[in-house]
Structure 1
């Protein structure tokens, strides 16, 4: 019974991520078809459509594609921050023993692809793209794993999720350090001060959605204007959301029993509405329920659907549309470099690191995960769609030619990684 209770929430998470991967694929196909159709002019106009407001002392006006990449993606990064905090406090990464397996895989999957990219790169103008092949797209990769059904154990999905979260943490740090503009320390200091205030409130056990949203918007604007990428505000804000419930399960059950008893004793009206006593009891129930829920868990649960079913597909729709034509000026070496770094760099990095440390017995791999599983999932780690395209848009912001080349490299590399990983995991070992 306990195992079922523990596994079911993760299985629901996998289902959301898998369907999100399908929507992501559909949005990518739509964007590619639209960008290469006679209606492509409307695709470009949609990306460049300016929105915002201007006053005498303040201006915030950006093309729609930047509102998606800087605004909507901040919510995506906020969810990543919630996942990272939960995993490190109470999840699969909350002890040295638990984190060792996915951490080793993630480190191998970050260092080797970057090394591949830097070794193969022969153009000083494209060296900034070294961060593109770093992160794994959890939605796409879990969608492929889910398509394999019972051919892969649940522990393999747990491993993929855990090391993808570590990958995301590494990508967040890389964006903060290497892909931010000249930083205004004054504005950044104000933002960090507001964050420190939220952390203090969280430490004292106080949590308010209104305060989180209102101060969150201010912090996002301060990050944007300071030169630090605003999506990082989403990650840092997530760390201010408390994990702990205000009341324990035993207390909640006791109050729930009293509430049920009061409902039974309350008068029932003939009309299809609640009596005054019933309304009072229900109001009391809602108050106790809010106290019983973990703020972080509740917020993460609510955001998963919005991020998986709306934000990520919208991001793909706005960013995956590359106009492919015979006369387009592609940087072929960059395309090949990213494909090799994703397909070979990720697979060699993850599998060799895990298998080596497993051999010398510094990590413990679950008994139902075979070497074939590790090799297969290491290829799936090369599916770097969302974060890879996002980093490419930051690295080559001033050179659209390189952005298009990087996107094609990401698309091809992710596709090849998905196909090879699927075949390896589908074929049963003798």
Structure 2
């Protein structure tokens, strides 16, 4: 299978980032539950301008993360795994199953309750963590499995972005939204006129971010929209899209996502945290990520492959799809991100949800790694 250099670069940076994220999460949890608790929390609540450091990370720096996701998705659509309907269908179908089933499981436990807004939490997959765990299996992992998980996770993130835009928007300001979309329209015209200087796109992107922030729609959406008006061209190294994606990989993987992990996993385990795991919200998150993800991905893939709509790559087996489904249950970054939006102004629900996400992601990762480790054993023929 031909794999573009940029995909390889993306995979390498994401798997390394997964390891860094694990270390940052452990460090953050230790500091938040140590004698340095107050000082550590004060760092993230320190005011810069009219907002906290944590706010600028979540609403500012994470926009750059979403820009990178958008650029990767654009590349996949034009020349990658999503460029042909035949190749795109399997990860698209897997992603849909991996979003609908977990959300459905969550709603079984939370429909009609104060926490039903959290249905989007178990729908998400953390690319960095998932690929980080997959990379631990080394050269035994077939390229098609790496591509499948990456494409699935990217589409999953697009689904999460749509969920954020549609379901987690309060007090919509049509004027600010209109200005943001107007700027996007101007940048699209620049794109069609083949303006290949990155400066107007970056300046326009900052304007889009500002007006999107004030529109009521989460500002990070501006990052994805900006990605699709940046000229892709033929996708070679000389294009703005390629250069920007290449430039952003390491800052996002080793600065932005670790900062997000540090700021958002400073969870204090109070005396009643175990009891919190028995709440409907926690059960919905756990079952959604640990069981809903692999069940949804496997069943949707099996159904559509059986119907002849798409086909399984020759070097993959169904057990490996199940194992990948468990890895997709590592929600972490996107799940925590959606938690912050779903339970805004409900700190107790945010804390309980974060603990449930951390435990669920850990369990899903361990099961996924074990499952794939067995199915990918050298010389082990998997049916």
What is the TM-score when the length of structure 1 is the normalising length? 0.84
Is 1:306 the counterpart of 2:306? The answer is: no
Is 1:114 the counterpart of 2:103? The answer is: yes
Tell me the CA shift for residue 152 of structure 1: 2.1
Match of 1:12 in 2: 9
2:145 & 2:28 partners in 1: Cα distance? 32
1:217 & 1:330 partners in 2: Cα distance? 40
Is 1:335 the counterpart of 2:282? The answer is: yes
Q: Is contact 1:151-1:425 (8 Å) kept?
A: no
Tell me the CA shift for residue 387 of structure 1: 0.4
1:24-423, aligned counterparts within 5 Å? 24-52=21-49, 61-121=50-110, 124-244=113-233, 293-327=238-272, 330=276, 332-333=278-279, 334-423=281-370
Q: Is contact 2:76-2:82 (8 Å) kept?
A: yes
When Rg is computed on C-alpha atoms for both structures, the one with the higher figure is 1
Q: Is contact 2:198-2:240 (8 Å) kept?
A: no
Q: Is contact 2:6-2:246 (8 Å) kept?
A: no
Tell me the CA shift for residue 361 of structure 1: 2.2
Match of 1:286 in 2: none
2:175 & 2:4 partners in 1: Cα distance? 46
Kindly provide the CA deviation profile for residues 151-204 of structure 1, in whole angstroms up to 9, marking residues without a partner as x.
Answer: 321110100001111111111111001111111111111111111000110011
1:297 & 1:313 partners in 2: Cα distance? 24
Tell me the CA shift for residue 86 of structure 1: 1.4
Kindly provide the CA deviation profile for residues 223-258 of structure 1, in whole angstroms up to 9, marking residues without a partner as x.
Answer: 111111100011111111111159xx9xxxxxxxxx
2:272 & 2:135 partners in 1: Cα distance? 39
Kindly provide the CA deviation profile for residues 248-270 of structure 1, in whole angstroms up to 9, marking residues without a partner as x.
Answer: x9xxxxxxxxxxxxxxxxxxxxx
Is 1:425 the counterpart of 2:372? The answer is: yes
2:195 & 2:364 partners in 1: Cα distance? 45
Q: Which runs of 5+ in 2 are unaligned?
A: none
What is the TM-score when the length of structure 2 is the normalising length? 0.94
1:400 & 1:327 partners in 2: Cα distance? 15
1:362 & 1:121 partners in 2: Cα distance? 34
- Figure out how many residues of one structure are paired with residues of the other and give that number: 375
Tell me the CA shift for residue 327 of structure 1: 4.3
Tell me the CA shift for residue 74 of structure 1: 0.4
Q: Is contact 2:127-2:150 (8 Å) kept?
A: yes
Q: Is contact 2:267-2:355 (8 Å) kept?
A: yes
Kindly provide the CA deviation profile for residues 362-384 of structure 1, in whole angstroms up to 9, marking residues without a partner as x.
Answer: 21111100111111101111001
Secondary structure, in 3 states, of the residue corresponding to 1:332? coil
Q: Which runs of 5+ in 1 are unaligned?
A: 53-60, 250-291
Tell me the CA shift for residue 331 of structure 1: 6.4
Kindly provide the CA deviation profile for residues 93-145 of structure 1, in whole angstroms up to 9, marking residues without a partner as x.
Answer: 12211111101100100000000000022662100000001121111111111
